[in-house]
Amino acid sequence: MAIARAPHAAGEAPRDAAPAAGLNSVHLTLEALEKRYGNLPPSVSALSLQLRQGELLGLLGPSGCGKTTTLRMISGLVPVTAGRILVAGRDVTALPPYRRDMGVVFQAYALFPHMTVAENVAFGLEMRKVSRTEAKERVMRALGMVRLEALADRKPRELSGGQQQRVALARALVIEPSILLLDEPLSNLDAKLRDEMRNEIRDIQQRLGITAVFVTHDQVEAMAICDRIGVMRAGRLEQIATPLEMYERPTTPFVADFVGRMNHLRGTRLEGGGVRVGEAVLATAGTSPAGEALLLMVRPHRIQMTPAATAQPEAAGRNVQPGTVRRVTFVGDALHYEVAMGAETMLVESSTVSGPQSFAVGDAVFLAWSPDDTLTFPAGTEA
């Protein structure tokens, strides 16, 4: 499918493009945005970020953290309490929604119940005074994109939740907005359709060079298609980074927990640089003053597990600890082991394809991981 795009916005934004290149100029800027409803504590505060032209930002965070509110401020549906919104360097903070040229996919779809699917999708084009014949063609193309051509004449209430969601997507895309705001656009689709649609969204967004914000609860989804990810917590942007960086180098325990599973270990820094956790002394990459209470985090799939019967694995600066398998869970493409390690319980994940070795409950094992894979946070910074 080919959606024509105004020539000025052509150009793809490669996944890890270097910023500051001419083509990738800053497109959307949020400056210290704040939103308060009445006298309640702010729903969003001190939110600043910059998106390059054609960049896709994933917005993650627990329910009620202010994701929808952020999108509503960007689209002009709620006035900001403080801060500025700039599009291509122009201040749009005071513009009403109908002048912002932003496509929005609403969390609750918000389809017009009195119009057919085709009429819903055509509405934005009609507002832009696109000729009937062109509108018709573009509507059908957009519906094709979301695989709904066959249902063009249905009313929204004759569609399933997932179909409605796709109509909402088509309606937002057909106007070829310069900025696309998606509020959990895939939450009601089955796993297969979800993967398909997310790649479709990524495709279109890249091809048309649309700058987009994609709110989701699914970190895998965000990792898969986003150029950068922002994690929000209680109205604040906790961290914004590329998916890889976010995964490998989260700046807070909250973010670390949010983007994937984590083992938590509590310990105290020793004089020599190691960290005492229970009986064991573990090596970490960074340093900190002796005596400080620390929270160590290790990703389950970064832990290597070997049978205790064989020789202790080569240390080479790695942390090696004995343990006992307590529980095994098969989750399709991986095995999850719960391993008792001293007083702690560690989660270990091993791929069912790469690991020839499989373990049973009660097996004595060695757990090994690199100090580089150990994240260190001062205790008390978690949730």
Partner 1 sequence: MSAALLTRPRADWRGGTVLMALLAPILLVNVLTFLAPVINLAMLSFRGSGPGGSIQEGLTTATWTSLLTDSFYWEILLGTVWTSLLITFLTLLCSYPVALWVSRLGARWRNLMMVVCISPLLVSAVVRTYGWMILLGDQGFVPGVIRAMGMTPPRLLFNETGVIIGLTEILMPYMILSLLAGFGKLDRTLEDAAGTLGARPFTVFRRIVLPLSLPGLLLGCLLTFVLAVSSFITPKLLGGGRVVLLATEIYDQAIVTLNWPLASALSILVLVVFGAALAVYGQLSKLVD
Partner 2 sequence: MNTLSLPRIAYGVLVALLLVFLLAPVLLVFPISFSADNFIAWPPSGWSPRWYVALARESELLLAFRNSVVLGLVVTVLSLAIALPAAVMLVRKEFPGRDILFSVFTAPLLLPSIVLGLAILIVFVGRGLVGSWFGMVLAHLTLTLPYALRVLATGLKTLPPAVEDAAGTLGARPFTVFRRVTLPLMAPALIAAGALSFLVSFDEVVISLFIVGPQLKVLPVSLYHYVESRTDPLVASASAVLILVTLLLVIVVERAVGLRKAVGGGG
Ligand X SMILES: Nc1ncnc2c1ncn2[C@@H]1O[C@H](COP(=O)(O)OP(=O)(O)OP(=O)(O)O)[C@@H](O)[C@H]1O
- Does position 350 interact with Mg ion (CB under 5 A)? The reply is no
- Asked if 137 and 181 touch (Cβ cutoff 8 Å), the reply is no
Q: Which does 325 bind (CB under 5 to 8 A by kind): Mg ion, ligand X, partner 2, none?
A: none
What does the binding site for ligand X look like in residue numbers (CB under 6 A)? 37, 40, 43, 61, 63-69, 107
CB of 183 or CB of 200, closer to ligand X: 183
**Does 100 participate in binding partner 2 (rule CB under 8 A)?**
yes
Residue 99's binding partner, choosing from ligand X, partner 1, Mg ion, none, with beta-carbon cut-off 5 to 8 A by kind?
Answer: partner 1
Residue 132, SS3 per DSSP: helix
Residues 299 to 318: which contact partner 2 by CB under 8 A?
none
Q: Does 75 bind Mg ion (CB under 5 A)?
A: no
- Quote the DSSP letter at residue 11: -
Least spacing, CB of residue 217 vs ligand X, in Å: 6
Ranges within 88-117 binding partner 1 (CB under 8 A): 90-92, 94-96, 99
Residue pointed to by tokens 């409605």: 164
**What's the min distance (Å) between Cβ of 43 and partner 2?**
16
Task: Kindly state the smallest distance separating residue 181's Cβ from partner 2, in Å.
Answer: 8
Q: CB neighbours of 168 closer than 8 A, spacing ≥ 6?
A: 105, 106, 109, 110, 111, 185
Decide: 203 and 196 in contact? Cβ < 8 Å. Answer: no
Which of helix, strand or coil describes residue 265? strand
Report the distance separating Cα 303 and Cα 367, nearest Å. 6
Cα–Cα distance for residue pair 293/43, rounded to 1 Å: 32
Is residue 308 within 8 Å of 365, Cβ to Cβ?
yes
Q: Which does 92 bind (CB under 5 to 8 A by kind): partner 2, partner 1, ligand X, none?
A: partner 1
* CB nearer partner 2, residue 148 or residue 167: 167
Compute the distance between CA of residue 167 and CA of residue 116 in angstroms, rounded to an integer: 10
Q: Does 192 bind partner 2 (CB under 8 A)?
A: no
Q: Which residues contact 39 (CB under 8 A, 6 or more apart)?
A: none
- H helical segments located in the chain: 67-75, 117-127, 132-145, 161-174, 191-208, 219-225, 243-248, 253-258
**Applying CB under 5 A, which of residues 68, 163, 216, 263 lies at the interface with Mg ion?**
68
Kindly state the smallest distance separating residue 113's Cβ from partner 2, in Å. Answer: 4
CB of 122 to partner 2, least distance (A): 10
Residues in contact with partner 1, counted by CB under 8 A, come to a total of: 7
CB nearer to Mg ion: pick between 107 and 306? 107
Q: Which residues pair with 34 in a beta bridge?
A: 82
Phi then psi dihedrals of residue 194, to 5 deg: -60, -50
Q: How far is the CB of 98 from partner 1 (least distance, A)?
A: 9
Which of 66, 243 has the CB closer to Mg ion? 66
One of 13, 47, 175, 297 touching partner 2 (CB under 8 A): 175
Which residues bind to partner 2, rule: CB under 8 A? 72, 75-77, 96-98, 100-104, 106, 108, 110-114, 123-124, 127-128, 155-157, 168, 171-172, 175
